[in-house]
Chain A
Amino acid sequence: MAAAILRRLTTLTPAAAASARVAPRPLLPLLARGVSDSTDAITVETSVPFKSHIVDPPSRSATTSARELLSFFRDMALMRRSEIAADSLYKAKLIRGFCHLYDGQEAVAVGMEAAITRADAIITAYRDHCLYLARGGDLVAAFAELMGRRDGCSRGKGGSMHFYKRDANFFGGHGIVGAQVPLGCGIAFAQRYRKEGTVTFDLYGDGAANQGQLFEALNMAALWKLPVILVCENNHYGMGTAEWRASKSPAYYKRGDYVPGLKVDGMDVLAVKQACKFAKDHVLENGPIILEMDTYRYHGHSMSDPGSSYRTRDEIAGIRQERDPIERVRKLILAHDFATAQELKDMEKEIRKQVDAAIAKAKESPMPDPSELFTNVYVNDCGLESFGVDRKVVRTVLP
């Protein structure tokens, strides 16, 4: 009798039974589909239509496929996990100095990458870890660089704000707000000069949007029809200053005046991809365009900023609830039955293991050799030697 009562008490409650029915566990091997790898095209509407300035916006119907959506999910989950792991490493004092995290903004990096090739160039400011990963950067090298180790992507000499990957045309990684914008126009100039048919994505934030050099560079880019796409990652806060307190006109996509612009929901990876594809085709014909990505960062400006003195926790939680880029893709995948919730969870677990393994490997990397202090200051040129204090007495061959 007691056993029967116990059995009844331990069976599923009606609610649990109901949800279990909606996503049934495959009972037989034949019913185990696995995650879909289909490349059949499906059409998805972006969250909101694009707003545009002096250009006809692209359609809000984006094409994608199961394979692509799952790769988006994986890539964004990897980025999310990496940034959170970096948070822990920073609190454990393994990462020092400034550390600017990208969690919340992953859709911009992933959507952009999906629309272009590695021959196109990307340059950004200091919130660069995920752009580096999107460009094919190595996870171990990223963590090693954050911890200042020899196997870091900049040999431990750059740090969080100076990730680069030349063979993937990723130009960094810049600490001074706005200074990368003219650099990006210069890269586009070289692409035009060499008639490469490629474009440059020149990323900056809502804070940098007020830099004079941006308008200078925009003028030149428009004058010479440089194939540059200026991407404003508008996360609405320039460190602690909200956009409405810093910018008379927070419609960053309109600030190009004579340069067209698009406002894009930066939390919707398909919208980002659609806009970037549109932008690439546009600039090759017509010169520069501005893309304003309406996005959000969950962390503060950097690890030194709790991020809650100038915005409410409710706001942060609200965005996480309503607009999180990974959740959006998860819902899409589940709605189209490309994978089950459990399979996606398993993927995330796998990713977590991957990140942990990368961190462990990165921790094994030693600090740079003391001689590295002097390497890469100059480029060795025609076998020229650098003469330090006395040309005869102390002599270093420049690496």
Chain B
Amino acid sequence: MAAAAASSTLHGVGAVASPKPRSAAPAAARRSARVAAVAAKGGAGPARGRLVARNAVAAKADEAAAAAGSKSGGHEVLMFEALREALIEEMNLDPTVCVMGEDVGHYGGSYKVTKGLAEMFGDLRVLDTPIAENSFTGMGVGAAMKGLRPVVEGMNMGFLLLAYNQISNNCGMLHYTSGGQFKIPIVIRGPGGVGRQLGAEHSQRLESYFQSIPGLQMVACSTPYNAKGLMKAAIRSENPVVLFEHVLLYNLKEKIPDEEYICCLEEAEMVRPGEHVTILTYSRMRYHVMQAAKTLVNKGYDPEVIDIRSLKPFDLHTIGNSIKKTHRVLIVEECMRTGGIGASLRSAIIDNFWDYLDAPIMCLSSQDVPTPYAATLEDATVVQPAQIVAAVEQICQ
């Protein structure tokens, strides 16, 4: 589907007669792409490309560093560009995919994720909404009920609290309460997490708020590679998916494959295989963990680092296998401590892998405080590498 000529009216470009049928063949292709991605990605994140800043840890070289299956060498992108590529590819493939949010169109997106898309696809497919989160999220749900596949952007995940009713009651529940009649293939995405002195209301860590909504899937991306893969998978999923991005990760650079790939929504990513302790993390904390891992390796420890990626449901297969090997678990997250992702993950691990544990599960979360403005206080709000090192030393005693 070639992107048609740009139009600034709302009559929309490539306006839809009927959506491209999702036949079995593409499904098979998607499955094989997923399998290929899984096989190729091996374990070593850093072996794939150059990740900018505080994460260069020499990975265990036992996985074939076959450059993530990139036969033609791949290309370098920043995280926001990877997300953008995913959007463009999916919007080209399926005319029912559309984007809506504040300043996503003419402004190009507050974090440039949708830069240029309005020129490519038109104002109807890349819809600039007024500042009305509750109702444009509701509109997205209604449009999904009627057959479109909207990608709703919250300029900041914190703003989506205004749309919480729509996300919880309508988005999550309509498939169930209608007895399966309606599906809501919507993607709700946006940046969250603690940034650089953005203030309390713009530095919220809200993964915990959405996790008990039935019917919703949640994923958190952390590298350009998995950002693109997860975005594509989320758009293709028939279920509503919340994709958590992070304000500080948009400029991460990495080489990603030229050919098409998607990541599995429910799978965790093995970042660094190890023997002594399983460190479970996601989003920005992955980088703090890897920085701590550098120190830990120098001290003689061999941590296994898993980026859980799928916050709902948890990939207990990967996590379980790791625990069966190392018998010690540390969870490092940026979420609020009370009722956070770590809290749920801890429960799930205790329920299932109790017999394999040699030490209590430790969980490092951000503090249960509004994020302060002052730089030193803000740093103290989130988990820092030094704390991770100390925690591993404590667990491994």
Q: Is the CB of A194 within 8 A of B147?
A: yes
Cα–Cα distance between A131 and B181 once the two chains are bound (Å): 17
Interface check A5, CB cutoff 8 A: no
Given contacts A173-B177, A376-B180, A382-B30, contact A220 B135 (CB under 8 A): yes
Interface check A130, CB cutoff 8 A: no
Cα–Cα distance between A399 and B176 once the two chains are bound (Å): 11
Q: Is the CB of A223 within 8 A of B140?
A: no
Q: Is the CB of A391 within 8 A of B317?
A: yes
Q: List the A side residues contacting B352 at CB < 8 Å.
A: 389-390, 393
Q: Is the CB of B217 within 8 A of A378?
A: yes
Interface 9-mer from B9-17, B72-80, B290-298, B326-334: B9-17
Interface check B315, CB cutoff 8 A: yes
Q: Is the CB of B148 within 8 A of A193?
A: yes
Cα–Cα distance between A101 and B144 once the two chains are bound (Å): 29
Interface check A367, CB cutoff 8 A: no
Q: List the A side residues contacting B182 at CB < 8 Å.
A: 164, 166, 171
Q: Is the CB of B140 within 8 A of A186?
A: yes
Q: List the B side residues contacting A386 at CB < 8 Å.
A: 266, 313
Q: Is the CB of A378 within 8 A of B175?
A: yes
Q: Is the CB of B138 within 8 A of A186?
A: yes
Interface size on B, residues (CB 8 A): 64
Interface 9-mer from B82-90, B124-132, B389-397: B124-132
Chain B positions 165-184 with a Cβ under 8 Å from a chain A Cβ:
165-166, 169-170, 174-183
Cα–Cα distance between A186 and B140 once the two chains are bound (Å): 6
Q: List the A side residues contacting B138 at CB < 8 Å.
A: 179, 181-183, 185-186, 213, 217
Q: Is the CB of A179 within 8 A of B124?
A: no
Interface check B4, CB cutoff 8 A: no
Cα–Cα distance between A190 and B170 once the two chains are bound (Å): 17
Q: Is the CB of B214 within 8 A of A173?
A: no
B16, B146, B176: the one within 8 Å of A195 (CB): B16
Write the nearest CB–CB distance from B37 to chain A, whole angstroms: 14
A171, A187, A216, A224: the one within 8 Å of B10 (CB): A224
Interface check A57, CB cutoff 8 A: no
Interface check B194, CB cutoff 8 A: no
Q: List the B side residues contacting A184 at CB < 8 Å.
A: 142
Q: Is the CB of B181 within 8 A of A164?
A: yes
Interface check B362, CB cutoff 8 A: no
Q: List the A side residues contacting B134 at CB < 8 Å.
A: 182, 212-213, 216
Q: List the B side residues contacting A289 at CB < 8 Å.
A: none
Interface 9-mer from A65-73, A149-157, A257-265: A149-157
Q: Is the CB of B179 within 8 A of A154?
A: yes
Q: List the A side residues contacting B178 at CB < 8 Å.
A: 154, 158, 162, 164, 166, 172-173
Cα–Cα distance between A165 and B266 once the two chains are bound (Å): 32
Write the nearest CB–CB distance from B24 to chain A, whole angstroms: 10
Contact with A along B181-210 (1 / 0, CB 8 A): 111010000000000000000000000000
Given contacts A172-B178, A216-B132, contact A389 B348 (CB under 8 A): yes
Interface check A250, CB cutoff 8 A: no
Interface check B65, CB cutoff 8 A: no
Q: List the A side residues contacting B176 at CB < 8 Å.
A: 157, 376-377
Of B31, B140, B145, B182, the most chain A CB neighbours within 10 A belong to B145
Q: Is the CB of A195 within 8 A of B316?
A: no
Write the nearest CB–CB distance from B174 to chain A, whole angstroms: 8
Given contacts A183-B139, A383-B31, contact A220 B348 (CB under 8 A): no
Q: List the A side residues contacting B116 at CB < 8 Å.
A: none
Interface check B63, CB cutoff 8 A: no
Q: Is the CB of A381 within 8 A of B239?
A: yes
Given contacts A386-B313, A391-B316, contact A171 B175 (CB under 8 A): no
Interface check A189, CB cutoff 8 A: yes
Minimal Cβ-Cβ distance residue in A for B138:
A182
Besides A187-B142, A189-B143, A389-B316, 4 more A-B contacts (Cβ < 8 Å) are: A181-B135, A194-B15, A381-B237, A389-B348
Q: List 21 A-B contacts (CB under 8 A).
A: A155-B180, A157-B179, A166-B181, A171-B146, A173-B177, A183-B138, A186-B142, A186-B143, A187-B143, A194-B16, A216-B134, A216-B136, A220-B132, A223-B130, A379-B183, A379-B185, A382-B27, A387-B317, A389-B316, A389-B351, A390-B320
Q: Which 5 A-B pairs have the closest CB atoms?
A: A186-B142, A391-B317, A182-B138, A183-B142, A190-B146
> Footprint of B on A, CB under 8 Å?
121, 123, 152-159, 162, 164-166, 171-176, 179, 181-195, 212-213, 216-217, 219-220, 223-225, 375-384, 386-393, 399
> Footprint of A on B, CB under 8 Å?
10, 12, 15-18, 27, 30-31, 98, 124-125, 127, 129-130, 132, 134-148, 165-166, 169-170, 174-183, 185, 214-215, 217, 236-239, 265-266, 313, 315-318, 320, 348, 351-352
